[in-house]
Chain A
Amino acid sequence: NAGVTQTPKFQVLKTGQSMTLQCAQDMNHNSMYWYRQDPGMGLRLIYYSASEGTTDKGEVPNGYNVSRLNKREFSLRLESAAPSQTSVYFCASILTGAGYGYTFGSGTRLTVV
């Protein structure tokens, strides 16, 4: 099925551990985004990639790094996880100019203990 695929769906980390969240889309979208959503809150933009080979910081980039591996894949890395990074992480993509809005993945629920 066409869409945005995120892995893993759930993850528990210990403080200080590292991990990479994977995101892939098969819709030939040019732009991709990583958001986090804390309980009862709206989404906050972490990083985005307007096109293959470019990445830019969003509202809350500290503690994260990203890689736009190719047009399809955009990964988010936590180098040293902290409890404050406990959240649900959503990846999204869009073909800018097409008028159909973002397509979101189903999310990764991350708990840092």
Chain B
Amino acid sequence: LAKTTQPISMDSYEGQEVNITCSHNNIATNDYITWYQQFPSQGPRFIIQGYKTKVTNEVASLFIPADRKSSTLSLPRVSLSDTAVYYCLVGDMGSSNTGKLIFGQGTTLQVKP
């Protein structure tokens, strides 16, 4: 499984756009990039998944450059409730694979008023 590197912590203010970048230099051809959000005392929650270019859903956008060695999670106009730990993971999520993911330390995002 490809190792990921992301900042340990980030601060932002309400209403700002937040971009969290993740490095995954050893990503394999079949690997997908997935981001999760975790609040204290809760299990992680799936945010977004992508393979290449840009993916957008109602919560976030995921930008993946052509070489796929990094990715950026973009959270538009954050609020205090977006304060959480964000995990970037890389793994083969195809239907014939195990779907196994190894979590790193994640990025603790603190949104201030």
Contacts and interface: CB of A to CB of B under 8 A. Distances in A.
B42 A107 contact: yes
A53 interface: no
- Secondary structure dominating the interface of B: loop
A102 B46 contact: yes
Contacts of B42: 106-107
Contacts, number: 74
Interface stretch (A13-21, A37-45, A62-70, A77-85): A37-45
Interface of B: 34, 36, 41-47, 49, 87, 93-106
B44 A41 contact: no
Interface of A: 4, 31, 33, 35, 41-45, 48, 50, 56, 58-59, 88, 90, 92, 94, 96-107
Contacts of B103: 35, 42-45
B43 A104 contact: yes
A62 B103 CA distance: 18
Contacts of B94: 96-97
Given A42-B87, A101-B46, A106-B42, 17 more contacts: A31-B100, A33-B100, A42-B106, A45-B101, A45-B102, A56-B100, A94-B93, A96-B93, A96-B97, A96-B99, A99-B49, A100-B49, A101-B49, A101-B93, A102-B101, A103-B46, A104-B45
